[in-house]
Amino acid sequence: MKNVKNVKNVVNHIINELTAYCKNAEKKGFVIGVSGGIDSAVVSKLCAMTGLPTLGCLIKINDKMSNSDVLAWNHLKHLQANFSKVYLLKKYLTNTLITLKDDLPLINKTKNSSADILLVNTISRLRMLALYAYAGNDNLLVVGTGNKVEDFGVGFFTKYGDGGVDISPIADLLKSEVYEIGKFLDIHEDIINAKPTDGLWEDGRTDEDQIGATYEELEWAMRFIENNRYYSHEDIKNFTDRRIKVLHIFNTLHQKNKHKIISIPIIKISKKLKGYDEKISR
């Protein structure tokens, strides 16, 4: 699916925006967690292309290197070989997670779907804590890797985990657009061809396994809903069963995860309710 007519312009725009935001924030550079997927590969290369210090981190919870971990580490080594200010870090948080499991038994209870989600969200938040620790130590910005479908479509991220970042360079790009940029940036074909995964599950389940739909299907649903916000049963009566199911998956996840997608709600309290004289305090 071709979406970006001028990939070079988009790439240059993101690089310029990253550079300007970093300098305005009076930070030295960036820190980014890599997973072996296209999103983090693209974002880490864009950060490196700014010429500012970029710390690429592979945050591990166990000692086993998965295929995704190998792809991520090889990608970082490639960046380091081609950009003078790219630095690498591999950090194991196995003991930290063991301590958390002991101190918070609720994330280590009898295996069920709820306990599984609690555990993977905890792992995601541990990664966030590590990234911010290194960011704080070296005066860096934590850079997000979420794309538009994940961040604003189905909310496929952990609140205050991989969703806890300082800037999101590709959050206005669909997954297919990220792939286009990845090819333009010569991201290794093994990463481009890899099935998207968050790397949080020991069984290696993919994003599609968790969501129940491919990103291509989710993009179709997102576009359809954006163009037909108030669609009716009549509008989809000729759709295939699969498309109807994908629409249901998208709508269900969007509604369920809306608390992650929208800004944190603030309960407004008027001056009158506080007991102030609005005329005097003007």
pLDDT tens string 111-151: 556 668 888 999 999 999 999 999 999 999 999 999 999 99
Residue pointed to by tokens 């938040």: 125
Under DSSP, is residue 95 helix (H, G, I), strand (E, B) or coil? Answer: helix
Q: For residue 58, give the nearest of 49, 71, 45, 42 by alpha carbon.
A: 71
For residue 11, what pLDDT is reported? 98
Query: What is the rounded CA–CA span in Å between residue 187 and residue 128?
Result: 25
For residue 1, what pLDDT is reported? 42
For residue 4, what pLDDT is reported? 74
pLDDT, averaged per 10 consecutive residues of the chain (282 residues), comes to 79 98 98 96 98 97 89 98 98 94 77 73 95 98 97 96 97 96 97 89 86 96 93 92 97 96 92 79 50
Question: Using an 8 Å Cβ cutoff, are 149 and 215 in contact?
Answer: yes
For residue 104, what pLDDT is reported? 85
Domains and their CATH numbers in the chain: 7-261 (3.40.50.620)
Confidence (pTM): 0.91
246 CA to centre of own chain: 21
For residue 115, what pLDDT is reported? 61
Contacts 24+ apart (CB under 8 A), 146-152: 146/39, 146/170, 146/171, 147/39, 147/171, 147/173, 147/174, 147/175, 147/177, 147/178, 148/172, 148/173, 148/174, 148/175, 148/222, 149/174, 149/175, 149/215, 149/218, 149/219, 149/222, 150/175, 151/261, 152/261
Q: Which amino acid is at 185?
A: L
For residue 145, what pLDDT is reported? 97
Question: Using an 8 Å Cβ cutoff, are 80 and 87 in contact?
Answer: yes
